[in-house]
Amino acid sequence: MNLISIADLGREDVLRLIQSAEAFRARRGQHGQPLAGKSLAMIFEKPSTRTRISLEVAAWELGGHPLYLSAGELQLGRGETIADTARVLSRYVHAITARVYSHSTLLQLAEHAQVPVVNALSDWEHPLQILADLQTMQQSFGSLEGLDIGWIGDGNNVCNSLILASAIMGMNIAVASPPGYSPRERILEEARALGGSPRVVTEPEEAARGADVLVTDTWISMGDEAEEAERLRVFGRYQINSQLLALAGEEAIALHCLPAHRGQEITDEVMDGPRSRVFDEAENRMHTSKAVMAWLMGERQGGGDGPR
C-alpha cells in the first residue's frame, strides 16, 4: 500500500493511525522498535524543516535507518528515470518518502516501486501534514465527526488534503480564498464523491463564523515566488487575526502547518495566543509519521505492531 493521497485512507484507517500516534506520543522512549533492521529512503526535491526532521527522528526512534537523499545526490539529477530509481531503491530500502515539485513524480515512483511510497508533499497534496492536523483536532475536541473547519487563504496542496480528509471523517469545511485561488475543482468533486459537502466562499468572515477550527498556510508556497507581489496584494485580508477568531466558536482553535509569515496569513497575537495549537500540530508531525511508518513498514511487511 502507498500513501499518495489522504483519500488512500478510509475513516477507520485514519482513526487507527491517530490512535497509534497517540500511543507513540505517550510512550516516547519506551515503545518498541518495529522498524529495527529497516531503512527509509527520503527523497527531497524541496527544502524542509518539519517534514525532514520529523521523518528522520521518527524512523530512528522506531529502530529504522533514514536516508536523506536530495535531488542533487541522486542520478535523477543526471537523467536517470524515475521508474529506474524506484526499481533500484526497492532493492535497497523498505519504504520511500518523497517531497517533490510535481505530483506526477510520486505517481511514477508508486507505479514502479515494490515498497510503500509516501507523499511527503507535492503540488497536489500533503497527507502527512493533514494526519498531524487531525490528531491535533482530536486532542482538542475528543472527536472529529461534525467539526466545522474554516480554511482561510490559498486553496493549495494542504487545503486539498484537508478538504478530502473532512469528507472522509465527517467534518464540514468552508474554504475562503480570493477569486482565482480556490481549491481545484477535481478535489472538490472527489470530496463530494466521498460524501463531503465542501463550501468555497470568497469572504474570510463567512468561513470563520462559528467554526471549531481555523486553518491557514502561507500565501506564497514554494514555486510561487514569482507571484509574490501579486499574491501579497490579493491575499491581504485573508488573515487569521483576533477579529476573525472572535467570529469562530467559543472553543475554536487555530492551526498553521508552518513555516508562518507572521503578520501576513496569521498574526502574532493568534499564533502565540491561548487558542493556538500550532506547535502541538508541529510536534504531531513526528508522532503521525511514526504511526504511518510502523503501519506500512512494520505491520504490513510482517514486522512489529507499533507501540507496546
Q: Which positions are catalytic?
A: 99, 126, 129, 217, 257, 285
Q: How many CA atoms lie within 13 A of 281 on its CB side?
A: 24
Q: How many angstroms separate the CA atoms of 180 and 69, rounded?
A: 35
Residue spans of beta strands (DSSP E) within the chain: 39-44, 65-70, 95-99, 117-119, 148-152, 172-176, 199-201, 213-216, 253-256
Q: How many angstroms separate the CA atoms of 183 and 90, rounded?
A: 34
**Strands laid side by side in the 95-99 sheet:** 65-70, 39-44, 95-99, 117-119
The radius of gyration of the chain from alpha carbons, rounded to an integer in Å, stands at 19
Pair type for strands 199-201 and 65-70: unpaired
Q: How many angstroms separate the CA atoms of 294 and 36, rounded?
A: 10
CB 173 within 8 A of CB 187: no
Other CB atoms within a 10 A radius of the CB of residue 61 amount to 16
Q: Rounded to 5 degrees, what angle do the CA atoms 13, 103, 135 make? A: 30
Other CB atoms within a 10 A radius of the CB of residue 108 amount to 18
Q: How many angstroms separate the CA atoms of 112 and 84, rounded?
A: 8
Nearest Cα to Cα of residue 168 among 287, 61, 13, 26? 13
